[in-house]
Structure 1
């Protein structure tokens, strides 16, 4: 269905459409230039109607692929200790020896065994 709206208040320039759609003017012109969105070419410039803007919104609408399941979060009772509180006091993490140091140590012990025999 084509619109017979006369020129004037019913037409928007790319800058106005960009402001309404919260995108750049360049994007609006590029989409129109590549004929991805509806527009009017009047007087050598892109013009858009309210119907065009509604169609642009419809064209670029994205629906979720599947409903997002809600993940229940476990609730703890006030008297249940947190993870940090349940750890043993005095338990400390220790860093591993870096790989280069482990390799160097293994190489040195292999050399010493060869030299000793």
Structure 2
């Protein structure tokens, strides 16, 4: 059994992607754009458990109760049927070479 070193465990981009249910490319792209926290170790990206928890909080979306109440109070607009217009028949033009030859 390995000895506890007191250092935090680190995870690879592939492991973080698996826990998020997304691709490894997406995780690396978010790192490149500095949207999520990370460690740079030997040219690779590593993530601690604190980083992963923060990423979950960054990506979390919560409903706004005020929006839910407003959306119920606003009646939906009924759409009226548009009158059907007669269809215009189209005629093809004569080709340019046929016009020039005549």
- TM-score strictly above 0.5: yes
Cα offset, 1:28, TM superposition: 0.4
Cα offset, 1:53, TM superposition: 0.3
Alignment match, 2:18:
19
Higher strand share: 2
Unaligned runs of 5+ in 2: 1-5, 73-83, 89-102
The CA distance in 2 between the partners of 1:100 and 1:68, in whole Å, is 43
Alignment match, 1:6:
7
Q: For each residue in 1:26-74, what CA deviation from the matched residue of structure 2 results, as whole angstroms up to 9, or x when unmatched?
A: 11001111111000001110000110000001111112123635x8xxx
DSSP-derived class of the 1:62 partner: coil
The CA distance in 1 between the partners of 2:85 and 2:45, in whole Å, is 64
DSSP-derived class of the 1:38 partner: coil
Structure 1 residues 85-104: aligned runs within 5 Å: 99-100=85-86
4+ residue stretches of structure 1 with deviation over 6 A? none
Unaligned runs of 5+ in 1: 72-97, 104-117
Alignment match, 1:37:
36
The structure with the largest alpha-carbon Rg is 1
The CA distance in 2 between the partners of 1:68 and 1:43, in whole Å, is 48
Matched, 1:50 2:36: no
Aligned length in residues: 70
The CA distance in 2 between the partners of 1:35 and 1:46, in whole Å, is 12
RMSD: 2.6
